[in-house]
Amino acid sequence: MSDVAIIGIGIHPFGRTEGMTGLQQGVHAAREALSDAEMEWSDIQFAFGGSAAAGSADAMVNDLGLTGIPFMNVSNGCATGGSSLLSAYTTIKSGQFDIGMAVGFDKHPRGAFNADPEASGLPRWYGETGLMLTTQFFGMKIQRYMNDYGITSDSLALVAEKAFNNASLNPNAWRREPVSKDTILNAMMVSDPLTKYMFCSPAEGAVALILCKAELAHKYTSKPLFLKGAAFRSRPLGSFEVFSPSLEVERGPSPTVGASDATFEMAGMTREDIDLAQLQDTESGAEIMHMSENGFCKDGEQEKLLQDGDTKLDGKFPVNTDGGCIANGEPVGASGLRQVYENCVQLRGAAGKRQVQGNPKTAYTHVYGAPGISACTIITT
């Protein structure tokens, strides 16, 4: 079976774009990806795409062209982008088609997400009494983790400070002003121990990727990248997830552990092979916990790694080089693909002032979301 290459990447800047729908931002990203691969929409044989709150991706054909291709809408919560990418990957791998697109976009209103208990299979009282908020889950998960593994609030602030610093070097990021560690620590508390600057916000943005059979890649680009592994998992028994009126007393692993292991197995690689990573940072604590859930360190080692600056752009293992969710916001349908986009930019050596030095050759992504789903990828030069 042939490998799968990424030959075109496109993005619509993240943040808030008045006067432009989410779908239009998706079209912008798709056109940018086509231009990057020096191809036409008519070259695309199939597409997968989705958004959580900005309409059906297949409506993009009205703008891109009515070429009659199969364009499949994907709806999988925070893993919508990851699921689109995985679907495109397996479509090419299976030999059904040679060239396709994965696209994700979104546009959310300001403020925290409104949750509908019944849509999540939960009793009405759970939402009515103020227990069904994603922010509470994140606060409670890291609170317990800090207690168990000696992570400090100072390290939570370092994660956010790094995000804004990296984003200040990324023209496509939303929040591009550096914010100092003290400002982050002293900002309004949202859900203890997390302050305002430690959380990402719902936002807008779009990303499109063009994939093809590896044998064809050199026709379109001199620097093809290869998708070596991609896997998706839902929550296993005993994991600690958002919107849980109760939890098992006996604790178990998160869906991230399974998705990460499966991705490495598929790629035939180990953690030591990875040069940089984009890890889901819905808030500062998530990045810290995901460092170990993805197997890049042991529980508790993050404290020293962060204090030593190891995950900064110039550190031993850069994490969230584009500013992550904290500085890009989280347009749900696009968020996972943004991570892949950033890895492609880094592996092409095209990241400008935020370029990771040392000629990185392998990069990892991890997206996580409600109600306990996780998707990972490994890309190589």
Q: Exactly one of 40, 154, 215, 248 binds other proteins (CB under 8 A); which one?
A: 248
Tell me the residue ranges of DSSP E strands in 98-239: 99-107, 189-191, 194-195, 204-213, 225-234
> Which of the stretches 117-125, 157-165, 267-275, 292-300 binds other proteins when contact is defined by CB under 8 A?
117-125
Candidates 3-11, 22-30, 31-39, 135-143 — which segment interacts with other proteins by CB under 8 A?
135-143
Take residue 249 and report the two structure tokens written for it. Answer: 């007393």
**Quick one: how far is CA 213 from the chain centroid?**
24
Nearest-CA neighbor of 324 among 290, 299, 296? 290
Q: Site for other proteins (CB under 8 A): which residue of 53, 59, 72, 140?
A: 140
Q: Is 249 in the site for other proteins (CB under 8 A)?
A: yes
Distance separating alpha carbons of residues 269 and 138, to the nearest angstrom: 31
User: In this structure, is the dihedral angle defined by the CA atoms of residues 116, 118, 122 and 126, taken in order, positive or negative?
Assistant: positive
For residues 360 and 275, is the Cβ–Cβ distance under 8 A?
Answer: yes
Who's near 147: CB < 8 A, 6+ residues apart? none
If residue 346 lies in a helix (H) or strand (E), which one and from where to where? helix 332-347
* Interatomic CA distance for residues 88 and 245, integer angstroms: 36
Q: Does 191 bind other proteins (CB under 8 A)?
A: yes
Please name the helix (run of DSSP H) or strand (run of DSSP E) that holds residue 134, with its range, or none. Answer: helix 134-149
3-state secondary structure of 327: helix
Q: Which of 125, 316, 350, 358 binds other proteins (CB under 8 A)?
A: 125
**CA pair distance 228, 210, nearest whole angstrom:** 15
Answer yes or no whether residue 131 interacts with other proteins by CB under 8 A: yes
| Interatomic CA distance for residues 84 and 336, integer angstroms | 10
Q: Which of 12, 108, 141, 235 binds other proteins (CB under 8 A)?
A: 141
DSSP conformation class of 98: S
Which residue, 113 or 317, has its beta carbon nearer to other proteins? 113
| Total number of residues that touch other proteins (CB under 8 A) | 36
Q: Is 154 in the site for other proteins (CB under 8 A)?
A: no
Please report how close the Cβ of residue 236 comes to other proteins at its closest, in angstroms.
Answer: 14
Q: How far is CA 153 from CA 105, 158, 222, 324, 328, in A?
A: 33, 9, 45, 19, 22
Task: List binders of other proteins among 304-363 (CB under 8 A).
Answer: none
Measured distance CA(287)–CA(41) in Å, rounded: 37
Stretch near other proteins under the rule CB under 8 A, chosen from 36-44, 115-123, 150-158, 294-302:
115-123
Region near other proteins per CB under 8 A, out of 10-18, 73-81, 120-128, 265-273:
120-128
Closer residue to other proteins in complex, CB, 195/346: 195
Taking the least distance from each CB to other proteins, the nearer of 8 and 202 is: 202
Site membership for other proteins, residue 40 (CB under 8 A): no
**Which part of the chain contacts other proteins (CB under 8 A), choosing from 44-52, 122-130, 252-260, 262-270?**
122-130
Q: Which listed range, 31-39, 190-198, 258-266, 364-372, lies at the site for other proteins (CB under 8 A)?
A: 190-198
Q: Which of 40, 116, 154, 182 touches other proteins by CB under 8 A?
A: 116
* Interface residue list for other proteins (CB under 8 A): 111-112, 114-117, 123-125, 127-133, 135-136, 139-141, 143-144, 147, 188-193, 244-249
